[in-house]
Amino acid sequence: MRCRVLYRNTMAPRNPVRIFIHALLLFPYFTWINAEGIYCFKCTITPPGSRSEEPNQLCSQFDESSRFRIYCPKSTLCAKRAFYLTLNNGTTITTVERGCAMQREHFQVYDTDKQQWQTKEKIVTTPYDERCFFDKAGETRYAPAEYCFCSYHFCNGSQSMKRLQTFSSVQLLLLVTICFMQF
């Protein structure tokens, strides 16, 4: 009867291609956000007002460059909102906004020492599911809105976050398959 060796010689050379594939597959999972703060892309439909000090980040000029990158200290999710307007001639116009997901909750607390109410703030870390969905309740009859939320750095920059979610699922499946093939 032959016994199968369940350990490997740690001094044996490793296949660099296999190590690279593992690193590539694991990279997105190391960039997921578990605490407050995330880096997202931000762009708006309209330019900021003339008195605003915010930079001009129009979505019509969006190119995933550094000028559209922001840090969201009060969020754990990035957001993307798309409006679809169908014209009378059948043409559909898509308008997109990107930014931080709104996760701040303000509430009042009575301070018995100072005998007054104070406004407190907390970050609600699970207000949205990581997915895309159409808002049927808030849509106008002309422009339905699609909302997408995701939890890793700069995840709201792709044209379709659905493809991004599918890609991440495929990556995880490949990783598990490769890991089990080694044993």
Residue 104 CA to residue 123 CA, distance in Å, equals 5
Q: Is residue 9 included in any domain, yes or no?
A: no
Give every CB contact of residue 31 below 8 A, 6+ residues apart in sequence.
152, 153
Domain tally, the chain: 1
Q: Phi-psi category of 123—alpha, beta or left, where left has phi over 0 and alpha has psi -120 to 50?
A: beta
DSSP-derived secondary structure letter, 49: P
Q: Is residue 51 predicted with pLDDT exceeding 60?
A: yes
Residue 168 CA to residue 67 CA, distance in Å, equals 26
Q: Is residue 4 included in any domain, yes or no?
A: no
Mean pLDDT over each residue of the chain, to the nearest integer = 75
What is the span of the domain harbouring residue 175? 16-181
pTM above 0.85, yes or no: no
More confident site: 135 or 73: 73
More confident site: 127 or 60: 60
**Residue 30, pLDDT score:** 46
Residue 97 CA to residue 102 CA, distance in Å, equals 13
Structure tokens at 97: 């906004």
Q: Is residue 38 included in any domain, yes or no?
A: yes
**Residue 13, pLDDT score:** 53
Q: Is residue 153 included in any domain, yes or no?
A: yes
Q: Is residue 147 included in any domain, yes or no?
A: yes
Mean pLDDT over 55-84 rounds to: 91
Q: Is residue 145 included in any domain, yes or no?
A: yes
Q: Tell me the backbone φ, ψ of residue 170, rounded to 5 degrees.
A: -65, -40
3-state secondary structure of 156: helix
Q: Is residue 41 predicted with pLDDT exceeding 90?
A: yes
**Residue 23, pLDDT score:** 58
User: Tell me: the pLDDT tens digits for 121-151?
Assistant: 887 777 788 999 887 655 555 667 889 999 8
Q: Is residue 6 included in any domain, yes or no?
A: no
Q: Predicted confidence band at 22 (pLDDT cuts at 50, 70, 90)?
A: low
**Residue 33, pLDDT score:** 44
Q: Is residue 3 included in any domain, yes or no?
A: no
